[in-house]
Amino acid sequence: MAEKKGDIGLIGLAVMGQNLILNMADHGFTVVAYNRTVEKVHAFLSNEAKGKSIIGAVSIEDLVSKLKAPRRIMLLVKAGNAVDAFIDQLLPYLSKGDIVIDGGNSEYTDTQRRCKELEEKGLRFVGAGVSGGEDGARYGPSLMPGGHSEAWPHIKSIFQSIAAKVDGQPCCHWVGSDGAGHFVKMVHNGIEYGDMQLIGEIYHLMLAIGLDQSEMAYIFEEWNKGELDSFLIEITKDILKFKDADGKYLLPKIRDAAGQKGTGKWTAIAALNYGVPVTLIGEAVFSRCLSALIDERQTASAQLPGPTTKFSGDKLKFLEDCRQALYASKIVSYAQGFMLLREAAKMYNWSLDYGSIALMWRGGCIIRSVFLGQIKTAFSKDPTLKNLLFAPFFKEAITKAQSGWRNVVSTAVNIGVPTPALSTALAFYDGYRSKRLPANLLQAQRDYFGAHTYELLGQEGKFIHTNWTGRGGNISASTYQA
């Protein structure tokens, strides 16, 4: 009897790859598994995959030969050169209409390039953001596929079956053409950076006002029952409660130098490239960079003075203010993220469904939180919504939070606790709601030293240069608008 053909092949048997394969098999799909180190394939089949509808492959040619047409092959390998290398190895064995899916954290510009290159060869390429970590991969991730739309009907049933479900709806929908899926995943990761930094700053403030870890854990547990209900708040509570083998809390023993894999940085770079003020995510990235200067910080802590003021207020009132500040700043973070999505959609002619994106993030992913449903509602009511801050729900929420938010930022400044993300969120909010900003002075300065010109109020579109000193000429430089 001929061997049963696989519905999909997967290359890369690290934990994420293995868990995704097991998830697919649990949902009735036959998966062909391959890894560059073939011993991993044999070990997987003998252990976790034993008895399941999973077929091993010992080479790329073997993998392709064991798949139904059109062949669907998913890569879960390190982003960058490894993806290109595996695509090059696959090409000799693929046929017109076959589908290659990159499920790693690839940079969206690479996905755009790969889409174009594979289309020229008659192949279909999908760049799929996968979020949720190891647990999500095993039991239901958030999936954000984009690329060649002709591929979607062939992978839809697999992806939507294995995805997380919220209210019966899969956290997976087609995002858009070429790099749209990976761009949305990049912004998701940028928001994740921001959320984690905000929570870290609140933790730092809790330490500064003298709370112990059991008190902090209780507060985060209570917060997770309300507006801040989210995966990151939940795991923060668990981390605060966790004790090492010696019975002491583990968290204070962990070295305070944060790592990063690049997606937050890519979000900040994209924001700069497209002129979108995604300031909170930018600060979150720079905060990780600052944390990495741990040796310099030790030296600076002994030499550079700070305020001598200590917190002396009502702790319970201040903790409620912290909750409000965290909530308001999270709203700003998502508002900035969707601003960046909207600008990229214009740039690349992507037809992004912002409500659908919010639904994809409601389950299975790291930034899943209760208020994503409100983002979906906001875009359903007004698909042309320019900014989440204009939606009635978020406008009311941020109005209620303002007093506490401002008190937290000012208190942090007075007692010398750095709150770059909380502060920049508030600064963005105040800048965004300002009818007038001091950019008129910036324009005058630029014209003074560089003849860059400016526009007068009521004469927009007409660029003027002034000879400010009487010594300059009347020739202007090229205009620059941002």
Provide the percentage of residues in the chain whose pLDDT is more than 70: 97
12 has binding-site annotation:
yes
Which of 133, 265, 103 shows the shortest CA–CA distance to 186?
265
- pLDDT tens digits, 102-130: 999 999 999 999 999 999 999 999 999 99
Q: Which residues make beta-bridge pairs with 54? A: 31
356 pLDDT higher than 80: yes
Q: What is the DSSP string of 191-213?
A: HHHHHHHHHHHHHHHHHHTT--H
DSSP 454: B
3-state secondary structure of 336: helix
Q: Same CATH topology for 185-433 and 437-481? A: no
19 has binding-site annotation:
no
Whose structure tokens read 């007409």? 462
User: pLDDT value at position 310?
Assistant: 93
The amino acid occupying position 199 is I
452 has binding-site annotation:
yes
228 has binding-site annotation:
no
132 has binding-site annotation:
yes
User: pLDDT value at position 368?
Assistant: 82
Token representation of residue 82: 């490894």
**Torsions phi, psi for 465 (to 5 deg):** -120, 135
Whose structure tokens read 């983002």? 375
Strands (E), 18-89: 31-34, 54-56, 72-75
- pLDDT tens digits, 308-341: 999 999 999 999 999 999 999 999 999 999 999 9
Q: Return d(Cα 448, Cα 139) in angstroms, integer.
A: 61
pTM of the entire predicted model = 0.92
Give the mean pLDDT of 64-90.
96
470 pLDDT higher than 90: no
Helices 372-381/392-415 angle, 10° precision? 140
Within 10 A of 247 (CB to CB), how many other CB atoms are there? 6
13 has binding-site annotation:
yes
DSSP 171: S
Q: Return d(Cα 389, Cα 374) in angstroms, integer.
A: 12
Q: What is the DSSP string of 32-86?
A: EEE-SSHHHHHHHHHTTTTTSSEEE-SSHHHHHHTBPSSPEEEE-S-TTHHHHHH
3-state secondary structure of 250: coil
Tell me if 135 sits within 8 A of 109, measured CB to CB.
no
Instruction: Please state whether beta strands 142-147 and 124-131 pair in parallel, antiparallel, or not at all (unpaired).
Output: antiparallel
Domain ranges (residues) in the chain: 8-174, 185-433, 437-481
HSE at residue 295, side-chain half, CA atoms within 13 A, is: 0
Entry field: residues in the chain: 482
Token representation of residue 461: 């579109």
- pLDDT tens digits, 410-440: 999 999 999 999 999 999 999 999 999 999 9
For domain 437-481, give its CATH number from 3.40.50.970, 1.10.3470.10, 1.20.5.320, 1.20.1250.20.
Answer: 1.20.5.320
214 has binding-site annotation:
no
Tell me if 144 sits within 8 A of 70, measured CB to CB.
no
User: pLDDT value at position 258?
Assistant: 86
User: pLDDT value at position 476?
Assistant: 65
Burial of 474 (0-12, 13-18, 19+ CB in 10 A): exposed
Q: Return d(Cα 376, Cα 358) in angstroms, integer.
A: 6
Superfamily of domain 8-174: NAD(P)-binding Rossmann-like Domain (3.40.50.720)
Within 10 A of 92 (CB to CB), how many other CB atoms are there? 9
Whole-number average pLDDT of the chain: 94
Provide the percentage of residues in the chain whose pLDDT is more than 90: 90
3-state secondary structure of 472: coil
Q: CB under 8 Å to 454, separation ≥6 — which residues? A: 440, 443, 444, 446, 447, 463, 464, 465, 466
Confidence class of residue 1 from pLDDT cuts 50, 70 and 90? Answer: very low
Check whether domain 185-433 has CATH 1.10.10.1100, yes or no: no
Q: Return d(Cα 424, Cα 328) in angstroms, integer.
A: 12
Give the mean pLDDT of 31-37.
97
- Which helix (H) or strand (E) segment is 461 a member of? none
- pLDDT tens digits, 147-172: 999 999 999 999 999 999 988 999 99
- pLDDT tens digits, 438-460: 999 999 999 999 999 999 999 99
Q: Return d(Cα 473, Cα 457) in angstroms, integer.
A: 24
Token representation of residue 121: 């060869």
**Torsions phi, psi for 170 (to 5 deg):** -70, 140
3-state secondary structure of 9: strand
Give the mean pLDDT of 163-187.
94
Q: How far is CA 330 from CA 116, 194, 199, 217, 287, in A?
A: 36, 8, 10, 20, 17
Token representation of residue 228: 């801040």
275 has binding-site annotation:
no
The answer for 74, left when phi > 0, alpha when psi is -120 to 50, beta otherwise, is beta
2 pLDDT higher than 70: no
Tell me if 242 sits within 8 A of 214, measured CB to CB.
no
Give catalytic residue positions.
185, 192
Tell me if 63 sits within 8 A of 9, measured CB to CB.
yes
Instruction: Please state whether beta strands 169-170 and 165-166 pair in parallel, antiparallel, or not at all (unpaired).
Output: antiparallel
3-state secondary structure of 223: helix
